[in-house]
Structure 1
Amino acid sequence: MDTKEKDRVVPKGKLLIIGGKEDRNGTDVEMKHRNKEFIPHEILKLLLKNKTDRIEVITTASSEPESMRETYTKTFKEIGYSNFGFIHFTGKNEDDYVERIRKSRVVFFTGGDQKKICDEIRNTEICDVLMEKYLSEKDFIIAGTSAGAMCMPEIIIFEDEEDEAILDNDIRISAGLGFLSECIVDTHFVHRGRFGRLAHAVMLHRECFGIGLGEDTALLIEEGKKAICKGSGMVIAISAKEIGKTNIETVEDGHPVYGENLKVHIITDGCCINLESGEFHAPE
């Protein structure tokens, strides 16, 4: 299915993009002791309504897949999930993994290296089946945390210097898995001070919303655009669609970038945002 055809289809499935360090076994969530509305395992409980449905966890991004397997096995059992498995795809045994994904209700990408996920999964039958199920199956969810969330859009940030100043040529953009259109996702957004790099990315791609996900915080996205915030932290949405003065197109290598009139939303639990129009709704 080409991009134009995909754009005409409203996805029936959902995306769950998580900013990393969600409440799970072995993770001490900072807001757990401060946010009076904290709910244990709130985000991972969104994966399934029927706890016996199948979850496939893809650990391809991680350099320590066994550690990921141990962590999520303990956490899923605590929640009550009983039917899950782990896939560490590195270009081998694709047919076996495709069949497992066809039978799943949820596919969950762990953290690690977002470029590694995209290099291994993009342009494979696995990616095709994920897209097919996402577009056509109402109860199907593609979820990801940290790098597993960053890989979801058509465009991803895969490398930057993370310096205080925004300098020309200090950020690298690549192709993602393509499940989310006109957005660029960043994670661990507040704790790792990533405002500058996400602002830089959307200034380079003004058609995109920048979605900066805080830790233990997620967006649950329906119809490819209707997003509700869940979790104990916050999401920052940045738009450069109405940018004023900027030198983004003329700045020389190594020199600072500036931009006027960036639009920013702060989104917390229960808030909704339309990722196409920017329309914002506070919790009832």
Structure 2
Amino acid sequence: MRKTYNDTFSKIGFSNFGFMHPDDESKNEEYIERIKQAKTVFFTGGDQNNICKKLNNSPINTVLRERYYNDKDFMVAGTSAGAMCMPEIIIIEAENGEAIIDNDIQLGKGLGLLNNSIVDTHFVHRGRFGRLAHAVLKNEELFGLGLGEDTALLIENGSRATCKGSGMVIVISAKEVIQTNVETADKHHPIYAENLKVHLLTDGCVINLSEGIMEKENVKRRNK
């Protein structure tokens, strides 16, 4: 994996980058100093639960959060599990069945860099609509962000999100659900929901994650 990222970053013109491995706690001081000097911290894929377990309540995550919230020129990015670990609440494990079944999803504590969303990745290719819908039905105040392949969501100031790439981002909202049995269903019983809302974002689309509203001027400009 290191060779892949070395080759990729070099190919697109980056020269000043390095690698950090949170498993090696002996290098915490070095890593903290690197984060203080960095413009961007990028999380690779793997296991989002493992990433969060290693970093939550660590001095590395403390300085990461401080820079993220206080430095407008600092960016945190991630791919696959590295993107899924960003919110306060993450999907640890879930089934991708034809129906949403009670008790088939496990949620956990993320890095806490996003407080309005839950993120899922490989969303379209791996058929993950059901599990993200289940997650937001259990957390109706949050948006579900399903990232497709070759697609990113650039989030500025914690709420203004711009879709980038050749695929799409699916935004799921349970804020206006009229009825659902997500809290009352018996174990292994399917979940239903009325008025679950879905937005489709493609390259250039912008959505406000505080309100769940797409920018109309941006949509008009794309349609010209």
Match of 1:89 among 19, 22, 47: 22
Measured after TM superposition, the shift of residue 121 of structure 1 is 0.7
* Counterparts of 2:116 and 2:155, CA distance in 1: 13
Give the distance between the partners of 2:51 and 2:35, measured in 1 at CA: 16
Whether the aligned pair in 2 keeps the contact of 1:247 and 1:258 (CA below 8 Å) is yes
**TM-score (structure 1 length as normaliser):** 0.75
Higher relative contact order (CA 8 A, sep 6+): 1
Aligned to 1:139: 73
Aligned to 2:199: 265
Q: Give the deviation of 1:137 after TM superposition.
A: 1.3
2:76 is equivalent to residue 122 of structure 1: no
Q: Aligned partners of 1:129 and 1:274: how far apart in 2? A: 27
Higher normalized helix content (fraction of residues): 2
Deviations 1:14-34 (A, max 9, x none): xxxxxxxxxxxxxxxxxxxxx
Q: Give the aligned partner of residue 75 of structure 1.
A: 8
C-alpha distance in 1, partners of 2:24/2:50?
12
Partners of 1:168 and 1:253 within 8 A in 2: yes
For structure 2, the 5+ residue unaligned runs are none
Q: Is 1:148 equivalent to 2:82 in the alignment?
A: yes
Q: Distance in 1 between matches of 2:160 and 2:220?
A: 14
Whole-Å separation in 2 of the counterparts to 1:69 and 1:227: 29
Which amino acid is 2:172 matched to? Answer: I
SS, match of residue 230 in structure 1: strand
Give the 3-state SS of the residue equivalent to 1:134 in structure 2: helix
- The one-letter code matched in structure 2 to 1:75 is T
Which amino acid is the alignment partner of residue 123 of structure 2?
Answer: F
Q: Any idea what SS the aligned residue of 1:149 has?
A: helix
In structure 1, the gaps of 5 or more residues are 1-67
Q: What TM-score, normalized by structure 2, do the two folds share?
A: 0.95
**Structure 1 position 182, deviation (Å):** 1.8
Q: Which moved more, 1:93-102 or 1:225-234?
A: 93-102
Q: Specify the alignment match of 1:211 in structure 2.
A: 145
Counterpart code for 1:151: C
Percentage of identical aligned residues:
62
Cα separation, 2, equivalents of 1:91 and 1:155: 25
**Quick one: which amino acid aligns to residue 23 of structure 2?**
T
- In structure 1, distance between residues paired with 2:90 and 2:70: 24
- Structure 1: which 4+ aligned runs deviate by more than 2 Å? none
**Contact 1:153–1:183 (CA under 8 A) maintained in structure 2:** yes
* Helix, strand or coil at the partner of 2:92: strand
Contact 1:101 1:130 (C-alpha < 8 Å) held by counterparts: yes
- Show the counterpart of 1:238: 172
> Would the aligned equivalents of 1:220 and 1:230 in 2 still touch at CA under 8 Å?
yes
Q: Which residue of 2 aligns with 1:110?
A: 44
Aligned counterparts of 2:74 and 2:3: Cα–Cα separation in 1 = 24
Which of 199, 204, 211 is the matching residue for 2:133?
Answer: 199
2: CA distance between counterparts of 1:263 and 1:171? Answer: 20
1:283–1:227 distance in 2 versus 1, CA, 3 Å: farther
Q: How far, CA to CA, are the matches of 1:220 and 1:258 in structure 2? A: 31
Displacement of 1:276 in angstroms is 1.0
Shift of 1:89: 1.1
Q: Does structure 2 retain, via aligned residues, the 8 Å contact 1:206–1:241? A: yes
Corresponding position of 2:108: 174
**Cα separation, 2, equivalents of 1:165 and 1:237:** 19
For the aligned residues, what is the CA RMSD? 0.9
CA distance in 2, matches of 1:283, 1:130: 37
Deviation at 1:91, TM superposition (A): 5.0
Higher mean C-alpha deviation, range 186-195 or range 242-251: 242-251
Equivalent of 1:249 in 158, 183, 195: 183
CA contact (8 A) 1:91 1:120 kept: no
